[in-house]
Chain A
């Protein structure tokens, strides 16, 4: 008899705990669903915060980083002596391999017309090191910018590059605005 009562009591206790856990889960679920993203949340790099430290190339979980240099061609000056293409301090002014800045030779230079040259990034070769971005930004117009190529990105729950970024330039955004390129929303005319 005692045994029965004890078992009944335990059952009752279990049921009560079960109900409260279920209610708790329900509260969490409903409460958070109202704040959730209906779409997917993806990682985004803010080039205006980026300091081109080089961590993008080394910290991505992928073998070759999903962060690539993107050329915003409408901002480019089409210069002969592109500071993102040629390194500073070259002994001779030519496009020999030792004078090119990109360590993987991912920038292709083609002649357009005097005195303009067009520069294109070969995505498969780019490793996201940001050397060209740094020089283009300080000497030139800043048309070379680092961005996460969404096709390649695994969209990890916690981006390993984001953790290592010294300027905390990574943030979550939704599918509609995957890329953030600087130079579009400001009157980019300096002094």
Chain B
């Protein structure tokens, strides 16, 4: 009611204001035959109701899928929920805004005080993480439309050797680092720009988008969920959070009998097999190794940080203002260029002094320098910690879903003969 009243007053004030200004502006001709000047044709903006509905549906589906995975434990239901998500969040809502991209909005909101972030972006970012924190990666299984479309083509999944998985598994970290770097400097939303499947949802996209989408769908027949495993930057966050989740999908619900029927059921190699011998970790050896890694990791961080920061100029080139400043500087030296690029003439007619542009570009380049150091260091940290983790011997005597990598798709549950209970 109050919002309606303020809206009405706003419209009234604006119309009065424009009427008043209209009297001062050079007027349209007066027609003798009393011809009325038609109004300017502009359509109304679409109301936010669909966005709010999105949040309600999102929350609802997240709750449903979590219950299905942990309580009902049915692969069938997970599959059909993922189809629903694909149709609703994918083809109906055209895949935008999605939690994967929302991390860029959050980043921009943190670093740019002027950026106004829509509430939907915040909720889309936090909800999957919150659910994951409590129940594991249930988002990936049934709600993410990108995952759902890949699941559909995973017809002949092939198991990958660990070293391939670890090598390709670095890519999401790099992608995350770049996405955060570019979003923080206000340069671009690269996750949206290279979204492989939104082109299919929208029935339109650049040829690059379709190429990547096509590659991922084709390889997805044999390497299941390639985007999720080897590209998705949000998946990095879900992975890390899921490792400490309170509850998680279990294959046999604590009653594993080691029948090995589920061994090859996971297309994503996310099942941790029982280790053979129970070899106690030699504490002294462990401490020695940890100390070694205690030294290696910071060195790695410094090394990768330095290496990546050497490319901060190339990263900065992606930023419009930096590129514009360079063009303006270069063109000053040319006497009479045949034709100036559009952005240079647009800049020259904007009236902003060149010095201001140079200053801003330099400050952005400095931000990129700092950012790329941090990003490089982050990659180094990840490498170091991964190496450290590999040295620790974890004993297992049953088949467990890897808390970090498992998408909770519940395929393995169908193979497990243990009676569903609890």
Contact between chain A and chain B defined by CB under 8 Å: yes
Task: Verify A178–B45 contact, CB threshold 8 A.
Answer: yes
Alpha-carbon separation in the docked complex, A75 to B203 (Å): 38
Which residues 200-232 of B sit at the A interface, judged by CB distance below 8 A?
202-205
Q: Indicate which residue in B28, B35, B43, B133 contacts A25 across the interface (CB closer than 8 Å).
A: B133
Q: Which residues 343-372 of B have a CB within 8 angstroms of A? A: 343, 345-347, 349-350
Q: Does A95 contact B (CB under 8 A)?
A: no
A104 within 8 A of B: no
A72 contact set on B, CB distance < 8 A: 40
Contact partner of B109 (CB less than 8 A), chosen from A35, A61, A149, A168, is A35
B57 contacts partner chain A, Cβ-Cβ < 8 Å: no
> What residues of chain A lie closer than 8 Å to B51, measured between beta carbons?
40
User: What A residues does B96 contact at CB under 8 A?
Assistant: 154-157
CB distance from B216 to the nearest CB of A (A): 19
Interface pair A116/B31, CB less than 8 Å apart: yes
* Chain B residues within an 8 Å CB radius of A184: 18, 21-22, 25
**A151 interfacial contact with B, CB 8 Å:** yes
Q: How far does the alpha carbon of A172 sit from the alpha carbon of B246 in the complex, in Å?
A: 39
Given A35-B109, A151-B44, A167-B346, A113 and B37 touching (CB < 8 A)? no
If A25-B129, A157-B101 touch, does A37 touch B25 (CB 8 Å cutoff)? no
Size range of the chain A interface in the assembly: 35 or more
Interface presence of A191 (CB below 8 A): no
Docked-complex contact A77 and B29, CB < 8 angstroms: yes
Q: Does B79 contact A (CB under 8 A)?
A: no
A53: nearest residue on chain B (CB-CB)?
A: B342
A29 at interface by CB-CB < 8 Å: yes
Residues on B with C-beta less than 8 A from A74 are 22, 25, 27-28, 37, 40
Complex CA gap A101/B32 in Å reads 29
**B202 and A175 within 8 A (CB):** no
Q: Which of B77-97 contact A (CB under 8 A)?
A: 94, 96-97
| Size range of the chain B interface in the assembly | 35 or more
> By DSSP majority rule, is chain A's interface helix, strand, loop, or mixed?
loop
List residues of B (25-51) whose CB comes within 8 Å of A's CBs: 25-29, 31-33, 35, 37-48, 51
Q: Are A175 and B244 in contact (CB under 8 A)?
A: no
Beyond A18-B245, A41-B116, whether A71 also contacts B189 by CB under 8 A is: no
Whether B241 sits at the interface, judged by CB under 8 Å, is yes
Chain A residues with Cβ below 8 Å from B46 are 40, 150-151, 155
For the complex formed, measure the closest distance between the CB of A172 and the CB atoms of chain B, giving whole angstroms: 7
B40 contacts A181, CB within 8 Å?
yes
Contact B193 A37 (CB under 8 A): no
Question: Could you give, for residues 156-186 of chain A, a 1 whenever the CB lies within 8 Å of some chain B CB and a 0 otherwise?
Answer: 1110100100111000101110110101110
* In the complex, chain A residues whose CB is within 8 Å of the CB of B44: 150-151, 178
A172 and B25 within 8 A (CB): no
Distance from A187 Cβ to chain B, minimum over Cβ atoms (Å)? 6
Binding site for A on B (CB under 8 A): 7, 10, 18, 21-22, 24-29, 31-33, 35, 37-48, 51, 94, 96-97, 101, 104-106, 109-110, 116-119, 121-122, 125-126, 129-130, 133, 188-189, 192-193, 202-205, 241, 244-246, 320, 341-343, 345-347, 349-350
Sample of 11 further A-B pairs with CB below 8 A, known A112-B31, A172-B116: A18-B133, A18-B244, A25-B129, A35-B116, A40-B118, A71-B41, A123-B41, A149-B42, A157-B97, A157-B189, A175-B47
